[in-house]
């Protein structure tokens, strides 16, 4: 992805700004370079573009951001404390509500962590079904993210409508398999809850084969669009070293050029048997993050076709694995997967009883927000909204 456009628009208006050492809540601000006053405004927590109840306290010099402090906790629902008071199986429905767009991958990450803790093996059919559902979730998430990002850019809902049209098709599949559109509660320790039928698999195959046509239609209007390129190229550049140090994971890290995809690095599930590429970006700006997600969707279609073709028979759940009365031996485990937003991990400490002694969620959106201020400094407020959109946060997992 080369940037052949001359320096216009967004690149010209980014100023080099060093954050000054004043306290946002202090009573006196230093004045701006131009001799005027600095203005502090709060973007959120109720804001059409902040993807949930997220608040950014920005200090502006004219239109330029000189300081940005994210404030969250507006959706802190003490998920971790609930996990300590609930059994291992009882926490599975709560994991649906973490990243509420991608319930299936949250379930899988939690199931992997408990399976590591208790030493449970998963039958092969269940591993393939998990891959199929995770890649369908990735398609859903990236389509909707592109829609929301375009809405932030000002496309006023049309790409979002198209994305939600495809999302509804995928949600129909989830509903017929697990009983619920969003809060699927589908994975179990040692497999999956329900075996997909041949009809369901046929429906999944048809959806997968038709998805490339949707992506072509979607990208025809968006990817080469000069307004989108002018608004997103050069905006919010994230250098690779900062990304690695800040614990950024997922498409945001890969857009900065770092080849780190847990499906390849950890090789969990049956991913080592599947053939797919990992797209990387050159510049680390908003456009690269959008393009990485578009290309990942194409790769996901390939993975889905392979998994649906190679799906073996067999049990869908390990019959010896305990679900309700699970009492793992005292110990701890950290299990993680490559969710659509990044590395989602669960850290569980067991004390031998039916409830965990410590239940911790490593949420990708929470850690990815560390560098929000670095990305937004020197940009305008309109760019900050787009940068936030490209980080792809969901407040359910930021605040837990």
Interaction residues for another protein, span 42-81 (CB under 8 A): 45-48, 52-53, 72-81
Reference 380, options 63, 36, 66, 70; nearest CA is: 63
> Which CB atom, from 272 or from 312, has the smaller least distance to another protein?
272
Widest pairwise Cα distance in the chain: 73
Q: Does 210 bind another protein (CB under 8 A)?
A: no
Q: Residue 164: how many CB atoms within 10 A of its CB?
A: 15
Q: Verify cis geometry, omega within 30 degrees of 0, for the bond prior to 45.
A: yes
| Positions 213 through 252 that interact with another protein (CB under 8 A) | 242, 244-249
Give the containing element (helix H, strand E) for 361: strand 356-362
| Positions 262 through 321 that interact with another protein (CB under 8 A) | 265
Give dist(CA 182, CA 393) in Å, integer: 17
Q: How far is the CA of 365 from the CAs of 10, 87, 246, 389, in angstroms?
A: 25, 26, 12, 11
> Which CB atom, from 44 or from 234, has the smaller least distance to another protein?
44
Identified binder of another protein from the candidate list 119, 154, 312, 314, rule CB under 8 A:
119
Give dist(CA 103, CA 105) in Å, integer: 6
Q: Does 41 bind another protein (CB under 8 A)?
A: no
| Positions 367 through 396 that interact with another protein (CB under 8 A) | 367, 369-371, 395-396
Are 233 and 289 in contact by the 8 Å Cβ rule? The answer is no
Kindly state the number of chain residues that form the binding site for another protein, as judged by CB under 8 A. Answer: 72
> Which CB atom, from 341 or from 362, has the smaller least distance to another protein?
362
Collapsing DSSP to helix, strand or coil, 66 comes out as: strand
| Positions 161 through 180 that interact with another protein (CB under 8 A) | 161, 164-165, 167-168
> Which CB atom, from 90 or from 315, has the smaller least distance to another protein?
90
Q: Does 152 bind another protein (CB under 8 A)?
A: no
> Which CB atom, from 37 or from 172, has the smaller least distance to another protein?
172
Q: How far is the CA of 148 from the CAs of 93, 154, 386, in angstroms?
A: 26, 10, 10
> Which CB atom, from 256 or from 380, has the smaller least distance to another protein?
256
Reference 191, options 138, 133, 116, 129; nearest CA is: 129
Q: Roughly how many angstroms between the first and final C-alpha of the chain, as a whole number?
A: 36
Contact window for another protein (CB under 8 A) among 231-239, 285-293, 319-327, 329-337: 329-337
Give dist(CA 304, CA 251) in Å, integer: 19
Q: Does 333 bind another protein (CB under 8 A)?
A: yes
Q: Does 181 bind another protein (CB under 8 A)?
A: yes
> Which CB atom, from 2 or from 156, has the smaller least distance to another protein?
156
Identified binder of another protein from the candidate list 260, 298, 322, 327, rule CB under 8 A:
260
Output the smallest distance, CB 80 to another protein, in A. 7
């Amino acid at each position: 992805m080369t940037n052949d456009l001359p320096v216009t628009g967004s690149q010209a208006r980014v100023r080099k700004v060093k954050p000054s050492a004043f306290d946002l809540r202090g009573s006196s601000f230093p004045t701006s370079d131009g001799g005027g006053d600095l203005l502090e405004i709060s973007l959120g927590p109720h804001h059409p573009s902040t993807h949930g109840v997220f608040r950014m306290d920005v200090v502006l010099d004219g239109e330029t951001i000189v300081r940005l402090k994210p404030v969250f906790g507006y959706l802190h629902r003490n998920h971790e404390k609930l996990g300590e008071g609930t059994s291992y199986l009882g926490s599975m429905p709560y994991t649906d509500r973490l990243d509420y767009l991608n319930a299936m991958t949250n379930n899988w990450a939690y199931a992997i962590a408990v399976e590591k803790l208790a030493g449970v093996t998963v039958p092969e059919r269940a591993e393939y079904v998990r891959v199929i559902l995770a890649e369908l979730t990735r398609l859903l998430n990236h389509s909707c993210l592109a829609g929301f990002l375009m809405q932030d850019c000002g496309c006023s809902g049309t790409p979002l409508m198209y994305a939600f049209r495809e999302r509804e098709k995928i949600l129909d599949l989830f509903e017929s398999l697990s009983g619920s559109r969003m809060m699927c509660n589908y994975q179990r320790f040692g497999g999956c809850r329900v075996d997909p039928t041949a009809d369901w698999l046929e429906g999944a195959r048809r959806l997968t084969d038709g998805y490339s046509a949707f992506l072509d239609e979607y990208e025809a209007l968006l990817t080469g669009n000069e307004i989108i390129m002018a608004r997103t190229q050069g905006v919010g550049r994230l250098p690779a070293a900062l990304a690695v140090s800040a614990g950024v994971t997922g498409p945001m890290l890969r857009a900065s050029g770092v080849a780190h995809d847990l499906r390849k690095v950890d090789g969990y599930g049956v991913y080592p048997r599947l053939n797919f590429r990992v797209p990387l970006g050159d510049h680390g700006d908003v456009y690269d993050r959008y393009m990485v997600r578009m290309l990942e969707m194409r790769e996901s279609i390939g993975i889905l076709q392979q998994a649906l073709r190679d799906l073996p028979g067999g049990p869908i759940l390990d019959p010896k694995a305990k679900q309700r009365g699970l009492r793992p031996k005292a110990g701890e485990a950290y299990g993680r997967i490559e969710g659509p937003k990044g590395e989602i991990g669960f850290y569980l400490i067991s004390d031998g009883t039916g409830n965990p002694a410590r239940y911790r969620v490593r949420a990708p959106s929470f850690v990815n927000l560390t560098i929000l201020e670095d990305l937004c400094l020197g940009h305008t407020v309109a760019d900050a909204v787009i940068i936030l959109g490209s980080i792809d946060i969901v407040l359910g997992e930021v605040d837990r």
